[in-house]
């Protein structure tokens, strides 16, 4: 994905599937970004062959529906139904959709190709039918208001960890990376208009995930194994909070 798209593909797709009257082609272009065209397998009503992402959008973007993106990690399924849990955990993301016809999970299988300097991505969405997931997800993610409160607490922890590492001192690229994190906004995200709270939660969650990436890339100023372990434990909790908050911000019921 390009630098302008810092969001997981499942998050972008979930947000577009909640929008009413949006052209399907715009949704597809926003999710695909600079990937190769996405393919889909297992889409209900499409048989056993591959179809396009536009067909997935057309199938799930009309009529009453519930939509959510979840970002599981090993040891933290984050509400992913069991039939999709292994694949979603491996991918680190999953789209959940529920309609009058049933409930499904769509997991993007992403294959990188090319060089480090010019990397492309092949993406195949694997759709599987799952049990009703609303109660499971609500229990795992909590409310958007809860997510915002927890994120603000986690921001203090993450900032302290970053300051303690003093990454700008010992990594040449860190100062620019930190500035990008601090100045990031939702303006360039390829998503529909977000209401105030959802925009705040998503921006803070992605900012925290970026801080965790910076702070866990090296042990930096940690002087002993105990410090490394303490910092890693704190940052794992920050990362878990941010992943769950990002999922909570994508949940919506469309009448």
Exposed (0-12), middle (13-18) or buried (19+): which is 96, by Cβ within 10 Å?
buried
pLDDT for 160 equals 73
Tell whether domain 9-141 is in CATH 3.10.450.
Answer: yes
DSSP string, 80-145: --HHHHHHHHHHT-EEEEEETTEEEEEEEEEEEEE-SSSEEEEEEEEEEEE---HHHHHHHH--HH
Ordered by start, the domain boundaries in the chain are 9-141, 144-247
pLDDT for 166 equals 58
Highest mean pLDDT among 44-48, 153-157, 216-220: 44-48
Task: Yes or no: say if 158 and 151 are a contact pair by the CB < 8 Å rule.
Answer: no
Tens-place pLDDT, residues 4-60:
347 999 999 999 999 988 899 999 999 999 999 999 999 999 988 999 999 999 999
Tens-place pLDDT, residues 68-88:
999 999 999 999 999 999 999
124/137 Cα distance (integer angstroms): 24
Mean confidence (pLDDT) of the chain: 86
């Amino acid at each position: 994905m390009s630098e302008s798209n810092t969001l997981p593909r499942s998050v972008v797709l979930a947000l577009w599937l909640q929008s009413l009257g949006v052209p399907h082609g715009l949704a597809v272009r926003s999710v695909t970004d600079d990937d190769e065209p996405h393919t889909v397998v297992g889409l209900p009503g499409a048989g056993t062959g591959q179809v396009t992402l536009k067909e997935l959008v057309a199938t799930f973007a009309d009529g009453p529906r519930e939509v959510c993106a979840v970002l599981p990690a090993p040891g933290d399924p984050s509400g992913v139904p069991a039939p999709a849990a292994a694949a979603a955990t491996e991918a680190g993301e999953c789209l959940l959709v529920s309609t009058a016809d049933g409930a499904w999970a769509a997991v993007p299988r992403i294959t990188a190709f090319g060089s480090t300097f010019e990397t492309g991505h092949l993406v195949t969405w694997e759709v599987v039918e799952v049990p009703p997931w609303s109660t499971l997800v609500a229990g795992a993610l909590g409310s958007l208001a809860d997510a915002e409160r927890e994120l603000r607490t986690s921001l203090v922890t993450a900032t302290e960890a970053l300051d303690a590492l003093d990454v700008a001192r010992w990594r040449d690229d860190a100062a620019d990376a930190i500035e990008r994190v601090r100045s990031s906004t939702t303006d360039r995200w390829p998503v529909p208009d977000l209401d105030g709270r959802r925009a705040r939660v998503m921006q803070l969650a992605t900012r925290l995930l970026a801080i965790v990436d910076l702070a866990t890339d090296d042990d930096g100023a940690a002087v002993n194994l105990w410090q490394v372990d303490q910092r890693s434990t704190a940052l794992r909790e920050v990362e878990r909070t941010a992943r769950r908050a990002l999922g909570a911000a994508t949940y919506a019921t469309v009448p």
